[in-house]
Chains A and B, each alone.
Chain A
């Protein structure tokens, strides 16, 4: 079994989840609560990775982060290094790829928080930021946790985008699914089977633990 690839995949999934928690949560809050009509356009963009083939998404990300692309040029000027075929490049692609999995459950949860409860917080002197952290976020927590777990599990099994953006560099961009693919290509079904089983078990465990946690979250806060 390819331990290095498994470790890399876990690292990538963890980093992606953290970035999505930081960026996706405010985005989901805005999408869930804003009265603006044009937010449907943003919603559509966020959902694109659900329907686009990973190769198409990977292709555009590769163009964008290449030294001649806008993001790539800006990144190189800023840090002196390049994004394609690196772990960071992979992270950028993964964040985009898993965005809908994080944002959609969060958005639904924020949308269900009652406006009057937020208003109560305002009239008690709390500004929008404090209201978000003290009231909206705790009430939407089950949705936020679901979003985080789904994006973690989704990133863990990512294949097409990695292949397009990251290539196959051991310890840098060779993730677990690439490793399985390589094993199969080399007709090493034993190694492929072991790794695949690990991925299956890890994914199952993550989901099972999350659902169990969510139950507890709800049991702690009986919502009328």
Chain B
């Protein structure tokens, strides 16, 4: 796709607050951007404005050189001509058509033989060729998900939009499909924007995260960056205060994972992540600070660190450390005094293995 997707818009509602967003999303092929935020923050509205299913009251949406909508000049490109694939929360499959009919719906203008070939290729790629003659009512949640994705990708859209793609599924299926969805999105070779309010989903699916709070986009950045270094307190509250660091699995033994993150070795409990790349998440509350290496201790991770910053946060002090990567910890003011925690102070950060939560991570697509 030529050029980034950019928007600056406002959508007002007769009842309820307005949704505002100013956003520029690079759209490299197969990059996944997550629009993350609590329910009611306006994520779906933004997505629908991009798809052309809703008209902004003010502002514009642009895709590369093309203006898709501009309230000031009255420019409006209808959804049919935006070339955007849209996956509704409910998937919205056509109940009166077979799986084959659903997938081929957007290919009506193709010659018959060509259409048949394309549909068959998609059915096979998504592993639903055996279900081709079934109707959506006869499919499981995961199967419906794949049909919807295949249908949206059939007309070769230049952008794919997904609204809470896993929310219609029950919890175990959702767990299972997260990684699969990431895989399918990367493989599709189409830049996509995913709306979600689920942290794990955001981490598993996204290359980049845009955080929305109260109808406004507050921070855009890489997954690690946003989760580890929230721009302000509200973003921190929305994403949960936590260190998120990319790590590589070096070894697996007896139910434990040996990780390497920015040159540091970490030990975590293996909860069944299947990938070699993971995101290691450490809650600031789980990090213990001490002045010297202990003689012997049950906790497995001892990370020599330097204090970068200390900031008061409610009744506690939030300490930012450099231990090869940036690590957050919270301590009481009393502990801060006793340990003399000031920028430059050398300490050891101690984390128990079960406190490191690993999220599977499919590799990011090769650029270009």
Enumerate chain A interface residues (CB-CB to B < 8 A): 114, 116-117, 119-127, 130, 134-135, 138-139, 220-224
Contact = CB atoms under 8 A, between A and B. Distances in A.
Contacts of B85: 123
B128 to A, nearest CB: 17
A115 B50 CA distance: 18
Contacts, number: 75
Given A123-B53, A220-B96, 19 more contacts: A117-B93, A117-B95, A119-B88, A122-B79, A123-B86, A125-B80, A126-B105, A127-B78, A130-B108, A134-B108, A139-B95, A139-B96, A221-B95, A221-B135, A222-B95, A222-B137, A223-B137, A224-B95, A224-B136
17 contacts: A114-B92, A117-B95, A119-B88, A122-B78, A123-B52, A123-B79, A123-B152, A124-B106, A124-B151, A125-B81, A127-B78, A135-B94, A139-B95, A221-B96, A222-B95, A222-B137, A223-B137
Nearest to B109: A125
A224 B137 contact: yes
B286 interface: no
A126 B154 CA distance: 13
B88 A126 contact: no
A222 B79 contact: no
A220 B96 CA distance: 8
A15 B155 CA distance: 41
Nearest to B79: A122
Contacts of B95: 117, 139, 221-224
A36 to B, nearest CB: 16
Contacts of A138: 96
B137 A121 contact: no
Contacts of A116: 88, 90, 92
A133 to B, nearest CB: 11
Contact of A120 (B81, B86, B137): B86
Q: Which 8 A-B pairs have the closest CB atoms?
A: A124-B106, A222-B137, A123-B86, A116-B92, A120-B92, A122-B79, A221-B96, A116-B88
Contact of A119 (B82, B86, B93): B86
Nearest to A122: B79
Q: How large is the interface on B (under 10, 10 to 19, 20 to 34, 35 or more residues)?
A: 20 to 34
Interface string B69-95: 000000000111110111010101111
A71 to B, nearest CB: 37
A121 B105 contact: yes
Q: Is the interface of A mostly helix, strand, loop or mixed?
A: helix
Contacts of A122: 52-53, 78-80
Between B51, B92, B138, B154, the greatest number of chain A beta carbons within 10 A of the residue's beta carbon is seen for: B92
Interface string B100-116: 00000110110000000
A126 B106 contact: yes
A135 B137 CA distance: 16
Nearest to A120: B92
B53 A117 contact: no
Nearest to B53: A119
Nearest to A126: B80
A222 B92 CA distance: 14
Contacts of B155: 124-125
B168 to A, nearest CB: 11
A39 to B, nearest CB: 19
Nearest to B161: A123
